[in-house]
Chain A
Amino acid sequence: MQAGRIAIYAAAGLPDSIFFLQGIRDQLCYVPSRYHYIHDHVFDPGRTLSTPANNSDPAQLRTWLQGAARRDRAAFRALYDASSPRLYGLALRILGRRELAEEVVQESFVAIWHHAIDYESSLSAPMTWMTAIVRNRAFDLLRRSRIEGNTDTVDRHVLESIADLAATPAERLQMSSDAQALADCMAALEERHREVVGMAFFHDLSHSDVADKLMLPLGTVKTWIRRSLARLHACLGARGAA
């Protein structure tokens, strides 16, 4: 099946980044059996959005956000329909539990409705703005659940994070051009550096958390992250100029 997939990607002329995404997903087999329910849930094909979403157009999202700011409920509903699968997918990835992810998405959209009027002054792209809201709230909840003594949480999320960067070609088609550019630039990083950056991004981990989880010296983790971010900056800058 693996070979078949790769052949399909090659035939479709998809860039190398697909391979790194696929490679990271393959590491899921290291997930201990007690975590399988998460795996099953997250990757349950019946639940994964399968229709190509061309409604991620930033101009369209911006129009809907402006509508929500004018208290236009139909526009808000359209915004929810277009963006909630991605935002829920993110919350689920960070929190690993459906009920927590649902709570975060619910809280976030209530906040989006109330703060839509402030959106323009944030000067951000619509998806960036909404993503920041969801990610902050998910991290808040994650910190609380860690504080509440659920030592399992950290390990579980780290293990999951290895699959975090997974995306099939169908999912890639749903990505914004910004995310595709980032995926391509991340594909150019060394695999372990990529892993470290992805872990920190999705799981609210400090340098030393990452070092502990991967059993690497702290200095190494710091250097890898610093170097990776500088390379991403250069790579995205070069693409933007092209």
Chain B
Amino acid sequence: MNLRGNEALRERLASEYVLGTLRGGARRRFESMMARDAALRRTTREWQERLLPMAEFAPAVAPDRRVWRAIETRLAGQGQGQGQGQGQAAAPRWQFWRHGALAMWRTLGLASSALAALLLAAVLLDRPAAPDAARMSDVASLTDEAARPALVVTADRERGMMTVKVVAKVALTPQQALQLWAVPRAGKPRSLGVLGSARELSLPLPAGAIGADVAALAVSLEPKGGSRNPDGPSGPILYKGGWVRLM
């Protein structure tokens, strides 16, 4: 569908996107159009400013004190670093999916689509719209321990391409590299690629990068050239996150 020049249609789709009635394939197509059309993102933002104040029509209710206490506890826990993971020596530390796994995946699932929305709003927002910009079918935001986005991975299933973009400041020595892994629900992590000093990498979509059995993506800190361990990462896991299917 060509939206360029059809101002009425652009307004209508943006308004229904924000209201929530644009669904399924149409919603995903709109999101991928937004990813490469700055004016469309602005139109959508304007509709957010128009319609989201409707939220205030619901009466304000002060939450119970325990909500703030829970937030404080969560933030304090994260401020102290990796405290919880270290206590569990049973599994290697990089096998984070074994540490209290279920609760973590639930949280990850909850966070991922909201995070994807934030990403569309924040990270991809003001990239110039290249005419040949890849169509994204899937996007993953990999975050550090404090849930700050560090890497954005996008996949284009149709063309079989994957891009990795480092969005955080990462200081690597020439002897270090970042390695991207697909972590399956069962079995060993699969290496998807190694990033040296490049902040952006485009490569053919590796087999096993996407699929129902991929529970998460993870990035480990490795020596130049990647992990020497054939079974998985040799260094610490710096970032992790899950795929969100867009179309």
Contact = CB atoms under 8 A, between A and B. Distances in A.
Contacts of A109: 71
B118 A133 contact: yes
Nearest to A86: B60
Contact of B52 (A111, A117, A135, A236): A135
A107 B111 CA distance: 8
Contacts of B111: 107, 111
Nearest to A225: B21
B114 A111 contact: yes
A118 B118 contact: yes
A80 B118 contact: no
Interface in B90-149: 107, 109-111, 113-115, 117-118, 121-123, 125-126, 146-149
A93 B56 CA distance: 11
Given A124-B48, A201-B51, A21 B57 contact: yes
Interface stretch (B10-18, B170-178, B221-229, B235-243): B10-18
Contacts of A110: 71, 74-75, 147
Contacts of B20: 139, 200-201, 204-205
B59 A182 contact: no
Given A102-B64, A107-B111, A140-B110, A166 B59 contact: yes
B59 A43 contact: yes
A107 B110 contact: yes
Interface string B173-195: 00000000000000000000000
Interface residues of B, number: 51
Contacts of A132: 48, 52, 117, 121
A127 interface: yes
Contacts of B52: 127-128, 131-132, 135
A164 to B, nearest CB: 6
A241 to B, nearest CB: 14
B23 interface: yes
B172 to A, nearest CB: 22
A162 B111 CA distance: 29
Interface string B26-56: 0000000000000000000100111111111
B58 interface: yes
B60 A89 contact: yes
B66 interface: yes
Nearest to B147: A114
B148 A114 contact: yes
A198 interface: yes
Interface stretch (A1-9, A27-35, A47-55, A151-159): A47-55
Interface in A64-93: 77, 80, 84-90, 92-93
Contacts of A107: 107, 110-111
A102 B19 contact: no
Contact of A121 (B48, B61, B125): B125
B110 A47 contact: no
Nearest to A121: B122
A171 B59 contact: yes
Contacts of B58: 86, 89-90, 92-93, 164, 202
Interface of A: 21, 42-43, 47-49, 53, 77, 80, 84-90, 92-93, 98, 101-102, 105-107, 109-111, 113-115, 117-118, 121-125, 127-128, 131-137, 139-141, 144, 164-168, 171, 174-176, 178-179, 181-183, 186, 197-198, 200-202, 204-207, 210, 225-226, 229-230, 232-233, 236
Closest A-B pairs by Cβ, 7 of them? A93-B58, A179-B56, A179-B53, A85-B60, A88-B63, A178-B53, A229-B15
Interface of B: 11-12, 15-16, 19-21, 23, 45, 48-64, 66-68, 70-71, 74-75, 107, 109-111, 113-115, 117-118, 121-123, 125-126, 146-149
